[in-house]
Amino acid sequence: MSVPIVATSTYAAAGADEAGRGYGRYANPTWEAFETAVAALDGGQATAFASGMAAVSAAVAALVGTAPPQQAVVVPSDGYHTSIALLSSLGRPVRPVPIADTDSVRAALPGAALVWVETPTNPLLEVADLPALVGAAREAGVPVAVDATAATPMLLRPLEHGADVVVHAATKYLSGHSDLLMGVVTVGEDRLGERVRAHRALHGAIPSPFEAWLALRGLRTLPVRLDRASATAHELARRLALHRRISRVRYPGLPDDPGHQVARTVMDGPGALIAVEVAGGAEAADAVVAATRLWVPATSFGGVESMLERRRRWPSERPSVPENLVRLSVGLEDVEDLWEDLDRALTRA
């Protein structure tokens, strides 16, 4: 019922193994089991990497490739700050756009080498209108990559909307237990898949077989974990919106959220991340984070345990993220326990 962890750097009679595996940087049966599962979920062919950022790097390289260096990359003005830092380090012009505003994206497309989409964005949870955006990019002849880490293939399958590439930080929901870092790139087209694999073999950002095995184990429960966490998040978001110590809640499941309509039509659910602005600024937000007992103050998201953090505690976080914004990653604990802890922390702080 479980694939073995194949711990090997090489294969006897290199190249002659029946699946054509020769050396451990090119192929491993445990990665392949994980990749086969993600490929089925995303509807393409998947390549696993050592981290989400390794997957982002490979996707960018495979798409931008040999495009002339003066061609720009279109990037979300809000999104995972390390991805934006990477896209800004290519030596190409960078065109930041609010990714939920399709007209702005359309205006930035002419002559671009790539449009990098993240949806919902981390940490502001803005939702891109993927069918409209991909349509505009196709017209302009610009390839589209979508980082769907916050959505997972359960809620969003960008390849179905015509995107060229989808990237997940498997560190988050796909593995789901805060015990490893991994990434995965899924593409619809063979030649692009070959470029992604060639990049991995050349740059060497391969996952370890043990991490791939753990990720596959986590992936088995993805739908049940996400269903439960999303239902809890929805309830908590509704309550937080009424809390006097919260000045704003961002959650695409709330009817007055700017991303609500698009999320309803493009996604299969609003997910399990919430971003709140704490009344009283950064200090009040820090006090709330410090006062929780059940919620764990930690970066990252998508694990079994609920976590929260004030994002701007990181100097590299985007200045457009409000100082008092706390991102909540809802886990699998009882909703009333989570609410009680949060309400107490908010009231005490």
Q: Which is nearer to ligand PLP, 82 or 104 (CB)?
A: 82
Q: Which is nearer to ligand PLP, 21 or 318 (CB)?
A: 318
Q: Is 78 a residue that touches ligand PLP (CB under 6 A)?
A: no
Binding residue for ligand PLP, selected from 28, 30, 47, 83, defined by CB under 6 A: 83
Site for ligand PLP in 100-129 (CB under 6 A): 118, 122
| Neighbouring C-alpha atoms within 13 Å toward the C-beta of 151 | 30
Q: Which is nearer to ligand PLP, 211 or 286 (CB)?
A: 211
3-state SS class at 313: helix
Question: CB of 171 within 8 A of CB of 307?
Answer: no
Residue nearest ligand PLP (C-beta atom): 52
Binding residue for ligand PLP, selected from 53, 73, 219, 278, defined by CB under 6 A: 53
Site for ligand PLP in 172-191 (CB under 6 A): 172, 181, 183
Q: Is 143 a residue that touches ligand PLP (CB under 6 A)?
A: no
- Kindly state the tokens that stand for 122: 């981390």
Which amino acid is residue 267, in one-letter code?
M
Binding residue for ligand PLP, selected from 28, 30, 45, 51, defined by CB under 6 A: 51
Binding residue for ligand PLP, selected from 47, 149, 152, 329, defined by CB under 6 A: 149
Question: Minimum CB separation from ligand PLP for residue 195, in Å?
Answer: 20
Burial of 26 (0-12, 13-18, 19+ CB in 10 A): middle
Which of 182, 134, 199, 137 minimizes the C-alpha distance to 162?
134
Q: How many residues does the chain have?
A: 349
The whole-angstrom separation of Cα 331 and Cα 306 is 4
Burial of 4 (0-12, 13-18, 19+ CB in 10 A): exposed
Per-residue CA distances from 254 to 89, 232, 333 (Å): 36, 13, 21
Q: Which is nearer to ligand PLP, 8 or 300 (CB)?
A: 300
Question: Minimum CB separation from ligand PLP for residue 91, in Å?
Answer: 21
List of residues contacting ligand PLP (CB under 6 A): 51-53, 56, 80, 83, 118, 122, 147, 149, 169, 171-172, 181, 183
